[in-house]
Amino acid sequence: MRLIARQQAFLAEVAAADEAALSPASPGMAIYRNAYRARLLSALETGFELTRRWTGEEAFAAAACHHVLATPPGSWTLDAYGASFPALLAELFADDPEVAELAWLEWHRQQAFAAPDRPTLDPAELAAAGLSEEDWANLRVTMAAGFAALPVTTDCTALWDHLTGDAAPGFQPSPVAGQSVLVWRVGFSPRHRPASRLEHEALAGLAAGQPLGVIAAATDPAQLGDWLAQWLSEGMFATASAAQCPEAAVLAES
Look at residue 6 in the predicted model and tell me its pLDDT.
64
- pLDDT tens column, 168-220: 677 889 999 999 999 999 999 999 999 999 999 999 999 999 999 999 999 99
Distance CA 176, CA 153 (A): 5
Integer Rg of the chain from CA: 23
Q: Which residues of the chain have pLDDT under 70?
A: 1, 5-32, 166-168, 243-254
The answer to whether 202 and 219 have CB atoms below 8 angstroms apart is: yes
Distance CA 90, CA 100 (A): 5
| Integer Cα distance of 249 and 253 in angstroms | 13
Give domain limits for the chain.
1-96, 117-254
pLDDT (0 to 100) of residue 30? 67
Neighbours of 240 (CB within 10 A): 23
| pLDDT value of residue 28 | 64
CA distance 191 to 98: 19
33-42: Cβ within 8 A, 24+ apart: 37/65, 37/68, 39/78, 40/67, 40/68, 40/73, 40/78, 40/81, 41/65, 41/68
